[in-house]
Chains A and B, each alone.
Chain A
């Protein structure tokens, strides 16, 4: 996916603050304030204090899922991108097949395949049941982490392939002319340059990953989405919890976007 497509799918820029006080905007802001006021006043929010602790816990789980799977996925994406550019052909085919399969099937299906499929397969092997991993494999979150990591790795692996291929040849030749070994050249020149080239897409991919995290609620991981589902089941309130959930995700996305912008501004770039 190109950078433009990603930014069409995920919010990567906050709306600018400039000219907030044009006359029509003031009218719109007043209208929005009226709507917010009536939502707060006329709808039922008395359940919020009771569930606030669980909501905070759920937000924590969501953020933990997001951070761990993005980092793990990115670490996995580097070799996937690299072997597609320079690896021997069996590895190249393997990496390409992996990206095609993961990007060609819905994440929900992959998640359920791992959770229900592997989850029903593992108990049949006594070796696994007796291993030290079993207490973890009986829980839901390892499958959620695995599915989200694999998905992020496949999408970001495609980005890294482009990034590795796009590093100017002259820079690599210069590294070789300095007498660097292939590994040193990779560590000092190729990898840093490729990561630098891939950074702009990282905002969008991470926001997309945040938008994918609520799927883990379908395999009983207690994230913020599943806390809200619980609220809806227990209180029989239809809309208010969903509105709060949308607001929570909106805020999380905004924080991510601002954070990445700050991060990008602090990475030295020459020229452009």
Chain B
């Protein structure tokens, strides 16, 4: 058998080709872009969804319930496949019907859309729980002051619900970064897929998968530090969580 020293060939991780380090970092950048985009889209969908679930009409509520139930019960991998194919297919048919011919959907946009729709259901539930944790009396008091619904939202509900929402939302961010790995299955070259390609062409499987693991871990740890700072700011004046 080969001895331990020759099993690890560090020059494979060099930034410039023939090393694969630059490719891995480019993959990480793609992953981060998708995670940020998908998370932002998810937050937007989630805010709308939580509002709809709490204050919407009966039909909107039921439809949102169907949305969150489906997304929470079906594996992300299956949802990503369905949304990826159905989304690009629908867009193509739509543009063909409008007479623009087929459009070439960029992998990045498709990835953001897919992750965003999944995250939207999760953040709907997180935000709904957080808004429900705001004491009803505070909102009633705001209404008694004659504030409009928009003002109540801006002045009372959002600041009061944020401390409850931030732990859940930060978990969702970490999940978004990890869910981007699933896009490897539909062939989008984010970190996990380029790692597999690098590993496959150099046969240094352990080295590359460990390197990618370190990159993901760094992303998580840096996020954790930032989340800690944000959480401290929004929990000002509240009791320490047990």
Contact = CB atoms under 8 A, between A and B. Distances in A.
Interface in A209-236: 210-215, 218, 225
Interface stretch (A36-44, A85-93, A117-125): A117-125
Contacts of A185: none
B126 A105 contact: no
- Nearest first, the 7 A-B pairs at minimum CB distance are A106-B181, A8-B125, A104-B220, A113-B209, A253-B73, A117-B206, A211-B75
B58 interface: yes
A203 to B, nearest CB: 12
Interface in B208-225: 209-210, 212-213, 216-217, 220-221
- Using C-beta atoms within 8 Å of the partner chain, give the interface range for chain A: 35 or more
Contacts of A1: 171
Given A8-B126, A15-B69, A104 B77 contact: no
A214 B78 contact: yes
B91 interface: no
Interface string B165-184: 00110011011001111101
A56 interface: no
B113 interface: no
Contacts, number: 151
A104 B217 contact: yes
A48 to B, nearest CB: 17
Nearest to B215: A105
A169 interface: no
A107 B178 contact: yes
B75 A210 contact: yes
A242 B78 contact: yes
Nearest to A228: B78
Interface residues of B, number: 56
Contacts of B239: none
Interface in B139-163: none
Nearest to A115: B205
Contacts of A107: 178, 181
B59 A28 contact: yes
A246 interface: yes
Given A242-B82, A246-B82, A250-B70, A109 B209 contact: yes
Given A2-B168, A112-B192, A7 B217 contact: no
A28 B62 contact: yes
A124 B1 contact: yes
B6 to A, nearest CB: 11
Interface string A235-268: 0001100110110011001100000000000000
A63 interface: no
Given A106-B192, A108-B182, A124-B2, A11 B126 contact: no
B129 interface: yes
Given A24-B58, A250-B70, A113 B77 contact: no
Interface string A1-40: 1101101111100010000001011001000000000000
A100 to B, nearest CB: 8
A249 B75 contact: yes
Contact of B73 (A218, A243, A250): A250
Contacts of A101: 213, 217
Contacts of B188: none
A246 B200 CA distance: 31
Interface centre among A109, A215, A239, A245 (most CB of B within 10 A): A109
B181 A109 contact: yes
Contacts of B167: 2, 5
A104 B224 CA distance: 10
Nearest to A25: B62
